[in-house]
Structure 1
Amino acid sequence: MKWLGALLILAASTWMGMAAARALYERPRQLRQLKAALRAFEAEVMYGHTPLAEASQHIARQTAAPIGELFAQFAAALHACETSVAEAWEKSLRAVWGKTALKQGEWEVMKQFGATLGQYDRLTQQQQIALALAHLEREEAEALDDQARYGKMAKSLGVLAGLLLVILLM
Protein backbone atom coordinates (compact mmCIF):
# COMPACT_ATOMS: atom_id res chain seq x y z
CA MET A 1 0.00 0.00 0.00
CA LYS A 2 2.90 2.32 0.81
CA TRP A 3 4.44 1.71 -2.58
CA LEU A 4 1.20 2.48 -4.36
CA GLY A 5 0.93 5.78 -2.48
CA ALA A 6 4.57 6.53 -3.27
CA LEU A 7 3.96 5.88 -6.98
CA LEU A 8 0.88 8.10 -6.96
CA ILE A 9 2.80 10.94 -5.27
CA LEU A 10 5.66 10.58 -7.74
CA ALA A 11 3.28 10.48 -10.71
CA ALA A 12 1.36 13.55 -9.51
CA SER A 13 4.47 15.63 -8.90
CA THR A 14 5.95 14.58 -12.25
CA TRP A 15 2.71 15.56 -13.96
CA MET A 16 2.79 18.97 -12.24
CA GLY A 17 6.38 19.52 -13.41
CA MET A 18 5.42 18.58 -16.96
CA ALA A 19 2.45 20.96 -16.85
CA ALA A 20 4.68 23.82 -15.72
CA ALA A 21 7.16 23.04 -18.50
CA ARG A 22 4.32 22.84 -21.07
CA ALA A 23 3.22 26.37 -20.14
CA LEU A 24 6.78 27.58 -20.70
CA TYR A 25 6.82 25.90 -24.13
CA GLU A 26 3.33 27.14 -25.09
CA ARG A 27 3.99 30.83 -24.48
CA PRO A 28 6.48 31.38 -27.36
CA ARG A 29 4.27 29.36 -29.71
CA GLN A 30 1.22 31.43 -28.85
CA LEU A 31 3.20 34.64 -29.21
CA ARG A 32 4.25 33.58 -32.73
CA GLN A 33 0.61 32.81 -33.53
CA LEU A 34 -0.46 36.19 -32.17
CA LYS A 35 2.16 38.02 -34.23
CA ALA A 36 1.14 36.13 -37.38
CA ALA A 37 -2.52 36.92 -36.68
CA LEU A 38 -1.73 40.63 -36.24
CA ARG A 39 0.22 40.67 -39.50
CA ALA A 40 -2.68 39.00 -41.30
CA PHE A 41 -5.08 41.44 -39.61
CA GLU A 42 -2.93 44.32 -40.85
CA ALA A 43 -2.99 42.97 -44.40
CA GLU A 44 -6.76 42.49 -44.31
CA VAL A 45 -7.50 45.97 -42.98
CA MET A 46 -4.77 48.02 -44.67
CA TYR A 47 -4.50 46.44 -48.09
CA GLY A 48 -7.78 44.61 -48.43
CA HIS A 49 -9.80 47.49 -46.93
CA THR A 50 -11.82 44.87 -45.06
CA PRO A 51 -14.02 46.02 -42.17
CA LEU A 52 -12.74 45.03 -38.70
CA ALA A 53 -15.48 42.45 -38.07
CA GLU A 54 -14.91 40.65 -41.37
CA ALA A 55 -11.14 40.78 -41.00
CA SER A 56 -11.44 39.32 -37.51
CA GLN A 57 -13.59 36.48 -38.81
CA HIS A 58 -11.03 35.68 -41.51
CA ILE A 59 -8.21 35.68 -38.96
CA ALA A 60 -10.23 33.50 -36.56
CA ARG A 61 -10.67 30.86 -39.28
CA GLN A 62 -6.95 30.92 -40.17
CA THR A 63 -5.53 30.84 -36.62
CA ALA A 64 -5.53 27.98 -34.13
CA ALA A 65 -7.09 28.26 -30.68
CA PRO A 66 -6.82 30.11 -28.34
CA ILE A 67 -5.60 33.04 -30.50
CA GLY A 68 -8.23 32.27 -33.13
CA GLU A 69 -10.87 32.40 -30.41
CA LEU A 70 -9.79 35.93 -29.53
CA PHE A 71 -10.51 37.14 -33.04
CA ALA A 72 -13.76 35.13 -33.23
CA GLN A 73 -14.98 36.71 -29.99
CA PHE A 74 -13.95 40.14 -31.26
CA ALA A 75 -15.86 39.64 -34.53
CA ALA A 76 -18.93 38.45 -32.62
CA ALA A 77 -18.79 41.47 -30.30
CA LEU A 78 -18.49 43.82 -33.29
CA HIS A 79 -21.42 42.16 -35.05
CA ALA A 80 -23.51 42.54 -31.90
CA CYS A 81 -22.85 46.31 -32.09
CA GLU A 82 -23.28 46.58 -28.34
CA THR A 83 -20.04 48.42 -27.53
CA SER A 84 -17.22 50.43 -29.02
CA VAL A 85 -14.37 48.73 -30.84
CA ALA A 86 -11.99 49.18 -27.89
CA GLU A 87 -14.54 47.75 -25.44
CA ALA A 88 -15.27 44.81 -27.75
CA TRP A 89 -11.53 44.06 -27.99
CA GLU A 90 -11.04 44.20 -24.22
CA LYS A 91 -14.12 42.04 -23.64
CA SER A 92 -12.71 39.49 -26.09
CA LEU A 93 -9.32 39.58 -24.39
CA ARG A 94 -10.90 38.94 -20.99
CA ALA A 95 -12.96 36.05 -22.33
CA VAL A 96 -10.03 34.24 -23.92
CA TRP A 97 -7.05 35.23 -21.77
CA GLY A 98 -7.44 32.44 -19.21
CA LYS A 99 -7.05 29.85 -21.97
CA THR A 100 -3.68 31.20 -23.07
CA ALA A 101 -0.18 30.80 -21.68
CA LEU A 102 0.44 34.51 -22.16
CA LYS A 103 1.44 36.81 -19.31
CA GLN A 104 0.73 40.31 -18.05
CA GLY A 105 3.18 41.98 -20.44
CA GLU A 106 1.33 40.60 -23.45
CA TRP A 107 -1.99 41.59 -21.84
CA GLU A 108 -0.86 45.22 -21.63
CA VAL A 109 0.38 45.24 -25.23
CA MET A 110 -2.85 43.76 -26.55
CA LYS A 111 -5.01 46.02 -24.40
CA GLN A 112 -3.18 49.12 -25.69
CA PHE A 113 -3.49 47.81 -29.23
CA GLY A 114 -7.24 47.37 -28.79
CA ALA A 115 -7.59 50.90 -27.43
CA THR A 116 -6.31 52.26 -30.75
CA LEU A 117 -8.40 50.03 -33.04
CA GLY A 118 -10.75 51.95 -35.27
CA GLN A 119 -9.78 55.37 -33.90
CA TYR A 120 -7.20 56.46 -36.45
CA ASP A 121 -6.68 56.55 -40.17
CA ARG A 122 -5.14 53.56 -41.95
CA LEU A 123 -1.55 54.80 -41.82
CA THR A 124 -1.65 55.51 -38.08
CA GLN A 125 -3.41 52.18 -37.51
CA GLN A 126 -0.63 50.44 -39.41
CA GLN A 127 1.93 52.15 -37.18
CA GLN A 128 0.01 50.98 -34.09
CA ILE A 129 0.08 47.41 -35.38
CA ALA A 130 3.81 47.70 -36.02
CA LEU A 131 4.30 49.01 -32.48
CA ALA A 132 2.32 46.10 -31.02
CA LEU A 133 4.36 43.67 -33.11
CA ALA A 134 7.61 45.20 -31.85
CA HIS A 135 6.47 44.80 -28.25
CA LEU A 136 5.41 41.21 -28.92
CA GLU A 137 8.85 40.52 -30.45
CA ARG A 138 10.43 41.62 -27.19
CA GLU A 139 8.02 39.47 -25.18
CA GLU A 140 8.74 36.48 -27.43
CA ALA A 141 12.49 36.87 -26.87
CA GLU A 142 11.83 36.90 -23.13
CA ALA A 143 9.58 33.85 -23.41
CA LEU A 144 12.20 31.92 -25.38
CA ASP A 145 14.78 32.84 -22.75
CA ASP A 146 12.47 31.63 -19.98
CA GLN A 147 11.77 28.44 -21.90
CA ALA A 148 15.48 27.69 -22.34
CA ARG A 149 16.28 28.63 -18.77
CA TYR A 150 13.42 27.02 -16.86
CA GLY A 151 11.86 24.35 -19.14
CA LYS A 152 14.06 21.40 -18.20
CA MET A 153 14.28 22.63 -14.64
CA ALA A 154 10.49 22.49 -14.22
CA LYS A 155 10.37 18.89 -15.43
CA SER A 156 13.25 17.84 -13.20
CA LEU A 157 11.89 19.72 -10.23
CA GLY A 158 8.57 17.90 -10.50
CA VAL A 159 10.27 14.50 -10.39
CA LEU A 160 12.69 15.50 -7.64
CA ALA A 161 9.98 17.05 -5.48
CA GLY A 162 8.00 13.83 -5.77
CA LEU A 163 11.02 11.77 -4.78
CA LEU A 164 11.63 14.06 -1.79
CA LEU A 165 8.03 13.68 -0.65
CA VAL A 166 8.19 9.91 -1.02
CA ILE A 167 11.42 9.74 0.98
CA LEU A 168 10.05 11.99 3.70
CA LEU A 169 6.83 10.02 4.01
CA MET A 170 8.49 6.60 4.02
Structure 2
Amino acid sequence: MLLKYLGAALILISAPGLGMYLAGQWKERLRLLEKLRQMIYFLKGEITYSHAPLAEALERVGRRSGGPLGDMFVRASERICTQEGESLQEIWSGETRTMAAGAKNLPLTRADLEQFTALGEHLGYLDVDMQERTLLLYLEQLDLSIEYLQAHRQEKCRLYTSLGVMGGIFLVIVMC
Protein backbone atom coordinates (compact mmCIF):
# COMPACT_ATOMS: atom_id res chain seq x y z
CA MET A 1 0.00 0.00 0.00
CA LEU A 2 2.88 2.34 0.83
CA LEU A 3 4.45 1.69 -2.58
CA LYS A 4 1.15 2.52 -4.25
CA TYR A 5 1.03 5.94 -2.54
CA LEU A 6 4.70 6.55 -3.22
CA GLY A 7 4.18 5.75 -6.91
CA ALA A 8 1.14 8.05 -7.06
CA ALA A 9 3.17 10.84 -5.45
CA LEU A 10 6.00 10.37 -7.94
CA ILE A 11 3.56 10.50 -10.86
CA LEU A 12 1.92 13.63 -9.47
CA ILE A 13 5.34 15.28 -9.25
CA SER A 14 6.86 14.07 -12.51
CA ALA A 15 3.92 14.59 -14.89
CA PRO A 16 3.65 18.35 -14.24
CA GLY A 17 7.44 18.47 -14.40
CA LEU A 18 7.30 17.02 -17.89
CA GLY A 19 4.71 19.60 -18.88
CA MET A 20 6.88 22.41 -17.53
CA TYR A 21 9.90 20.98 -19.34
CA LEU A 22 8.04 21.01 -22.67
CA ALA A 23 6.88 24.59 -22.05
CA GLY A 24 10.49 25.51 -21.28
CA GLN A 25 11.64 23.90 -24.52
CA TRP A 26 9.13 26.05 -26.44
CA LYS A 27 10.50 29.21 -24.81
CA GLU A 28 14.11 28.11 -25.30
CA ARG A 29 13.50 27.44 -29.00
CA LEU A 30 12.07 30.94 -29.36
CA ARG A 31 15.08 32.43 -27.56
CA LEU A 32 17.53 30.48 -29.68
CA LEU A 33 15.86 31.45 -32.96
CA GLU A 34 15.89 35.11 -31.89
CA LYS A 35 19.62 34.80 -31.14
CA LEU A 36 20.15 33.17 -34.53
CA ARG A 37 18.30 36.05 -36.21
CA GLN A 38 20.61 38.49 -34.45
CA MET A 39 23.66 36.52 -35.57
CA ILE A 40 22.47 36.48 -39.18
CA TYR A 41 21.98 40.26 -39.05
CA PHE A 42 25.54 40.59 -37.74
CA LEU A 43 26.79 38.29 -40.52
CA LYS A 44 24.92 40.34 -43.13
CA GLY A 45 26.53 43.50 -41.77
CA GLU A 46 30.00 41.96 -41.81
CA ILE A 47 29.62 40.81 -45.41
CA THR A 48 27.76 43.81 -46.78
CA TYR A 49 29.31 46.79 -45.03
CA SER A 50 32.80 45.74 -44.01
CA HIS A 51 33.24 43.49 -47.07
CA ALA A 52 34.87 40.86 -44.88
CA PRO A 53 35.57 37.45 -46.42
CA LEU A 54 33.07 34.83 -45.32
CA ALA A 55 35.50 32.97 -43.07
CA GLU A 56 36.45 36.15 -41.24
CA ALA A 57 32.83 37.27 -40.95
CA LEU A 58 31.77 33.89 -39.55
CA GLU A 59 34.56 33.97 -37.01
CA ARG A 60 33.74 37.51 -35.83
CA VAL A 61 30.03 36.76 -35.47
CA GLY A 62 30.68 33.42 -33.77
CA ARG A 63 33.10 34.87 -31.23
CA ARG A 64 30.76 37.77 -30.47
CA SER A 65 27.70 35.57 -29.97
CA GLY A 66 28.99 32.44 -28.24
CA GLY A 67 26.85 29.43 -27.39
CA PRO A 68 26.39 26.38 -29.62
CA LEU A 69 25.53 28.53 -32.65
CA GLY A 70 28.56 30.78 -32.13
CA ASP A 71 30.81 27.76 -31.74
CA MET A 72 29.40 26.33 -34.96
CA PHE A 73 30.20 29.58 -36.80
CA VAL A 74 33.77 29.56 -35.45
CA ARG A 75 34.33 25.90 -36.40
CA ALA A 76 32.98 26.54 -39.90
CA SER A 77 35.34 29.50 -40.23
CA GLU A 78 38.30 27.38 -39.13
CA ARG A 79 37.41 24.64 -41.62
CA ILE A 80 37.13 27.20 -44.42
CA CYS A 81 40.57 28.56 -43.55
CA THR A 82 42.23 25.13 -43.58
CA GLN A 83 41.23 24.72 -47.26
CA GLU A 84 40.97 20.95 -47.41
CA GLY A 85 39.12 20.99 -50.72
CA GLU A 86 35.63 20.95 -49.24
CA SER A 87 32.93 23.23 -50.54
CA LEU A 88 31.20 25.62 -48.18
CA GLN A 89 28.02 23.58 -48.54
CA GLU A 90 29.80 20.45 -47.27
CA ILE A 91 31.44 22.35 -44.42
CA TRP A 92 28.20 24.04 -43.39
CA SER A 93 26.08 20.89 -43.47
CA GLY A 94 28.77 18.95 -41.58
CA GLU A 95 28.99 21.60 -38.89
CA THR A 96 25.22 21.81 -38.49
CA ARG A 97 25.08 18.03 -38.06
CA THR A 98 27.91 18.22 -35.52
CA MET A 99 26.14 21.03 -33.66
CA ALA A 100 22.85 19.13 -33.58
CA ALA A 101 24.52 15.93 -32.40
CA GLY A 102 26.80 17.64 -29.87
CA ALA A 103 24.19 19.79 -28.16
CA LYS A 104 21.69 17.26 -26.84
CA ASN A 105 19.47 19.94 -25.30
CA LEU A 106 19.26 21.98 -28.49
CA PRO A 107 15.53 22.76 -28.80
CA LEU A 108 15.57 23.29 -32.56
CA THR A 109 13.26 21.16 -34.66
CA ARG A 110 14.26 19.21 -37.73
CA ALA A 111 12.68 21.94 -39.93
CA ASP A 112 14.76 24.62 -38.18
CA LEU A 113 17.94 22.64 -38.79
CA GLU A 114 17.02 21.96 -42.43
CA GLN A 115 16.47 25.67 -43.08
CA PHE A 116 19.74 26.49 -41.35
CA THR A 117 21.57 23.87 -43.40
CA ALA A 118 19.98 25.19 -46.61
CA LEU A 119 21.46 28.61 -45.84
CA GLY A 120 24.92 27.15 -46.42
CA GLU A 121 23.98 25.92 -49.89
CA HIS A 122 23.73 29.44 -51.26
CA LEU A 123 26.18 31.28 -49.05
CA GLY A 124 29.76 31.97 -49.97
CA TYR A 125 29.64 32.15 -53.73
CA LEU A 126 28.79 34.83 -56.25
CA ASP A 127 28.92 38.46 -55.20
CA VAL A 128 28.09 40.41 -52.06
CA ASP A 129 24.60 41.30 -53.33
CA MET A 130 23.69 37.65 -53.85
CA GLN A 131 24.94 36.74 -50.38
CA GLU A 132 22.93 39.61 -48.92
CA ARG A 133 19.79 38.42 -50.71
CA THR A 134 20.38 34.87 -49.46
CA LEU A 135 20.69 36.11 -45.90
CA LEU A 136 17.58 38.26 -46.28
CA LEU A 137 15.60 35.29 -47.57
CA TYR A 138 16.72 33.19 -44.62
CA LEU A 139 15.84 36.06 -42.27
CA GLU A 140 12.31 36.14 -43.70
CA GLN A 141 11.93 32.40 -43.05
CA LEU A 142 13.33 32.86 -39.56
CA ASP A 143 10.95 35.76 -38.85
CA LEU A 144 7.98 33.58 -39.82
CA SER A 145 9.09 30.87 -37.39
CA ILE A 146 9.69 33.40 -34.61
CA GLU A 147 6.34 35.07 -35.25
CA TYR A 148 4.55 31.71 -34.99
CA LEU A 149 6.35 30.83 -31.76
CA GLN A 150 5.59 34.21 -30.21
CA ALA A 151 1.93 34.10 -31.23
CA HIS A 152 1.39 30.66 -29.73
CA ARG A 153 3.78 30.84 -26.78
CA GLN A 154 1.25 31.58 -24.06
CA GLU A 155 -1.35 29.06 -25.16
CA LYS A 156 1.16 26.26 -25.83
CA CYS A 157 2.98 26.76 -22.53
CA ARG A 158 -0.31 26.79 -20.65
CA LEU A 159 -1.45 23.71 -22.58
CA TYR A 160 1.72 21.76 -21.81
CA THR A 161 1.64 22.50 -18.10
CA SER A 162 -2.12 21.79 -17.85
CA LEU A 163 -1.77 18.52 -19.73
CA GLY A 164 1.08 17.52 -17.46
CA VAL A 165 -1.00 18.12 -14.35
CA MET A 166 -4.19 16.57 -15.73
CA GLY A 167 -2.34 13.63 -17.26
CA GLY A 168 -0.68 12.92 -13.94
CA ILE A 169 -3.98 13.06 -12.09
CA PHE A 170 -5.63 10.82 -14.70
CA LEU A 171 -2.82 8.30 -14.50
CA VAL A 172 -3.03 8.18 -10.69
CA ILE A 173 -6.81 7.67 -10.84
CA VAL A 174 -6.45 4.87 -13.40
CA MET A 175 -3.72 3.14 -11.38
CA CYS A 176 -5.52 3.34 -8.03
TM over 0.5: yes
RMSD over aligned Cα atoms? 1.7
Q: 2:97 aligns with which of 94, 99, 103?
A: 94
Residue 80 of structure 2 aligns with which residue?
78
Cα distance in 1 for partners of 2:171, 2:162 equals: 14
**Aligned AA (2:169):** L
Cα distance in 2 for partners of 1:137, 1:91 equals: 25
The superposition leaves residues 15-68 of structure 1 with CA deviations (integer Å, 9 ceiling, x where unpaired) of 211111111111211111011000101111222222222222221222242322
Shift of 1:104: 3.3
| Alignment coverage as a number of residue pairs | 170
Structure 2: tracts of 5 or more residues without a match: none
Shift of 1:108: 3.1
Q: 1:157 aligns with which of 134, 139, 163?
A: 163
Shift of 1:157: 0.8
Asked if 1 retains the 8 angstrom alpha-carbon contact of 2:37 and 2:139, the reply is yes
Please, what TM-score do these two structures have when normalized by structure 2?
0.87
| Deviates most, 62-71 or 133-142 | 62-71
Runs of 4+ with >3 A deviation:
none
Asked if 2 retains the 8 angstrom alpha-carbon contact of 1:86 and 1:114, the reply is yes
Q: 1:30 aligns with which of 32, 39, 45?
A: 32
Residue 63 of structure 1 aligns with which residue?
65
Residue 116 of structure 1 aligns with which residue?
122
Identity among equivalent positions (%) equals 29
Please, what TM-score do these two structures have when normalized by structure 1?
0.90
Structure 1: tracts of 5 or more residues without a match: none
**Aligned AA (1:138):** L
Asked if 1 retains the 8 angstrom alpha-carbon contact of 2:68 and 2:99, the reply is yes
